[in-house]
Structure 1
Amino acid sequence: MNIKSLLLGSAAALAAVSGAHAADAVVAAEPEPLEYVRICDAYGAGYFFIPGTETCLKIGGMVRTEGGWYNAYNPGPGGDRGTYWHTRAQLSVDTATDTEYGPLKTNTVYRFDWNDGNATTTKLLWANISLGGFLVGKQDSQYNLFAGYAGDVINDDVVYDGPYELNQITYNYDAGNGFKAVVSLEDSNSGSDSSSYGGAWVQSKADHYAPNVVAGVGYKVGGFGFKVVGGYDSIVEEGAIKARVDADFGAFTAFLMGGWNTDGDKLNQYAGSNLNASACPVGRGDLCGWGDWAVWGGVGVPINDKLKWNLQLAYTDSKIFEATTNLKFNPVKNLLIEPEVTYTNFDSVNQDQWAGILRFQRSF
């Protein structure tokens, strides 16, 4: 009996120990399901959802390198600079989130440049927020952006067509039937007294607080469009108006644009100049600008699905003439090879200039 009791007790003890070990056994956790990147096609190609959010993200940019000969903007000794080389990298980041007021978007563009002489520059090109037709932040002036700049050439602004990067508060209206309108309050970039072109352009003023104002309307039907836009420079207290007609004839596209300066003896943000001061006589900086008016025109001819020819002509009341032509060759998708030649004539200083560019650009 004693032996039997001992055996039964030992068996019970072993069973208890085994049960305790079984209770303490580690159970492997189920692996969490992987979350794959989801495509977000509501805002166009290239967007994807940021994992764990309802915000869509798009990353793009380009790498460009180009060689240039002479300077179309400078007829003086500085324009005979020989061959120069310039390389640029640009990164753009866009976000979009659906809201009850429409898409909430941001657009940020970073630019990195390397120029001859081992000079590197970096800048924030654009950074803005938009919702329900409103936009706040940094972008090109609506005087340029709404009108559509000038022609499809690199040197499209030898004859000045408006300001670029600046802070603004803008409202864009799109009726959905071809009619569009824009109103924009733009930073006058003022802070201290400064001027250029021998005082013909007062670009900054101390204790100045008023913004510049831009407004425009446009209408497009089929392949034809018309836009008119005006800008008021609150520092100079003058402005300019541009009107543009675009036409798509199938075999080619064409545009014609005219500008009027409210005071041809002065330059302002909307009728200014990108030229070197050698393009006009000393003491007559106004002749580096439009004078009273300027006109641009151009055509674009697709030769095939990889090659396009462009031409732009421009002339001003101050007798500045510009002609630019190029070929845009895309041997493969997102790769551009673009040779361009520009001729400029500056009547007021009896000078002219030939200039050329060869550009290679890969976009993504």
Structure 2
Amino acid sequence: MNLKTLLLASGAALAAASGAHAADAIVAAEPEPLEYVRICDAYGAGYFYIPGTETCLKIGGEVRSEGEWHDAYNPNGKVGTLWHTRAELSIDTARDTEYGALKTNTVLRWDWNDGNDTKTKLLFANISLGGFTVGKLDSQFLLYQGYAGDVINDDVIYDGPYELNQLTYKYDPGNGFTAMISLEDSNSASDQSSYGGAWKTSKGDHYAPDVVAGLAYKSGIWGINVVGGYDSIVEEGAIKARVDVDFGTFSVYAIGGWNTDGDKLNKYAGSNLDESSCPPGRGDLCGWGDWAAWGGVAVPFNDKLKWNLQVAYTDSKIFAATTNLKFNPVKDLLVEPEVSYTNWDSVNQDQWAGILRFQRSF
């Protein structure tokens, strides 16, 4: 074999080997593009986009454990110590539409009270769009005006009902002025116990809703808010007016309430006493009577410590005072000792009570 023949044979062998390897080669597939979680800052801190959608989601909640001594709400209530632990989960969604933000709010709560079985509760569940809100919330008689002082026992003197179904419209042009009207469920289970057992009326065949309306204005350091509620079963109601002033180094507020019939209890001027201390219908004895008043002061000493005081009094001669310290040793952790005193002059009884709360929010 001459040199030319040898070179041709070697070239053919190499070409054949290369073709075999090319046929057997493994080509890696292109990786699928990853969709990372995107922050959604249009609706406040904590929201992120649900992957593959334009809906923003926020998950939060709290874990709380507290000891309670005596009962500030009732002179005939429990005496001793109650240890209470709670877990709460909140889920909020929001998405932009041609009518504004479409939002939902859901809050689930689990309570364990002194060795009793854990109780699960759908605290809130509602939908809002274009100023309208429908679903379960606290009454706008409380929510629109704001709860009383920044204390745990802020409603020893009853200031409105919680947890009911409603259809609410709020007008907010963005200039400090707002207006609200709400149709509220008169058959809610929470309503039937919202007077502490002191008010009983059959609701099985009642279909008319209760009505709440309010006006508010806020400018600079001060704000004023007026809200009224009409109980369609009792056919009476109540009005509350509130003034807030924030001086920076401290803030104060005052609330005055008027009952349309001081001899009766109604949904918006009720009582937190049980029936053993409050005979049915005796609004003059254990409810507001004709009127009620609340006032308080809050002093933030620094970003970790704040002092609060609230006092309240009624035409029926019920006096309640509560003070606490809110201590945040680290962000999102609260330690809150509180002391309350209540005097029911009409039954010549009084009560001291205390709470020590530990709470982690997220």
Post-superposition CA distance 1:64-107 (Å, at most 9, x none): 0000110001102x332x11100000000000111111111100
State the AA in 1 paired with 2:45. Answer: A
State the AA in 2 paired with 1:37. Answer: V
**1:85–1:116: 8 Å Cα contact kept in structure 2?**
yes
Over 3 Å counting, the alpha-carbon distance change for 1:133 and 1:67 in structure 2 is same
The 5 Å alignment of 1:154-165 reads: 154-165=152-163
Partner of 2:132: 134
Q: Give aligned-pair identity as a percent.
A: 80
TM-score relative to the length of structure 2: 0.91
State the AA in 1 paired with 2:44. Answer: G
After superposition, the CA RMSD in angstroms is 2.7
**2:270–2:283: 8 Å Cα contact kept in structure 1?**
no
Post-superposition CA distance 1:12-45 (Å, at most 9, x none): 9997897587457542211112221111111000
Over 3 Å counting, the alpha-carbon distance change for 1:203 and 1:220 in structure 2 is farther
Alpha-carbon shift at residue 201 of structure 1 (Å): 2.2
**1:136–1:170: 8 Å Cα contact kept in structure 2?**
yes
Decide which of 222, 225, 234 is 2:223's aligned counterpart: 225
Alignment of 1:48 with 2:48, yes or no, is yes
Q: 1:248 and 1:198 mapped to 2: Cα distance? A: 34
Alpha-carbon shift at residue 182 of structure 1 (Å): 0.6
Over 3 Å counting, the alpha-carbon distance change for 1:120 and 1:242 in structure 2 is same
Over 3 Å counting, the alpha-carbon distance change for 1:211 and 1:20 in structure 2 is farther
The 5 Å alignment of 1:110-125 reads: 110-125=108-123
Q: 2:131 and 2:213 mapped to 1: Cα distance? A: 14
Q: How many matched pairs?
A: 358
Q: 2:337 and 2:72 mapped to 1: Cα distance? A: 15
Q: 1:253 and 1:195 mapped to 2: Cα distance? A: 33
Alignment of 1:75 with 2:101, yes or no, is no
Over 3 Å counting, the alpha-carbon distance change for 1:357 and 1:200 in structure 2 is closer
**1:335–1:363: 8 Å Cα contact kept in structure 2?**
yes
Alignment of 1:167 with 2:170, yes or no, is no
Q: 1:127 and 1:67 mapped to 2: Cα distance? A: 29
Deviates further, 307-316 or 204-213: 204-213
Partner of 1:64: 64
Post-superposition CA distance 1:238-258 (Å, at most 9, x none): 111100000001211000001
Over 3 Å counting, the alpha-carbon distance change for 1:168 and 1:113 in structure 2 is same
Deviates further, 275-284 or 65-74: 275-284
The 5 Å alignment of 1:196-275 reads: 201-275=199-273
Q: 2:141 and 2:242 mapped to 1: Cα distance? A: 12
Q: 1:61 and 1:140 mapped to 2: Cα distance? A: 18
Partner of 1:4: none
Partner of 2:179: 181
Post-superposition CA distance 1:209-249 (Å, at most 9, x none): 11111100000010100000001111111111100000001
Partner of 1:37: 37
TM-score relative to the length of structure 1: 0.91
Post-superposition CA distance 1:330-359 (Å, at most 9, x none): 111111100000000001110000000000
Post-superposition CA distance 1:170-224 (Å, at most 9, x none): 1111121100111111111269xx7997996245422111111110000001010
Partner of 1:145: 143
Partner of 2:87: 89
Q: 2:337 and 2:194 mapped to 1: Cα distance? A: 32
Partner of 1:307: 305
Long gaps (5+) in structure 1: 1-7
**1:202–1:236: 8 Å Cα contact kept in structure 2?**
no
Q: 1:14 and 1:204 mapped to 2: Cα distance? A: 99
Deviates further, 13-22 or 256-265: 13-22
Partner of 1:105: 103
SS at match of 1:213: strand
State the AA in 2 paired with 1:39. Answer: I
**2:197–2:274: 8 Å Cα contact kept in structure 1?**
no
Q: 2:193 and 2:45 mapped to 1: Cα distance? A: 44
Q: 1:285 and 1:257 mapped to 2: Cα distance? A: 19
Q: 1:37 and 1:130 mapped to 2: Cα distance? A: 25
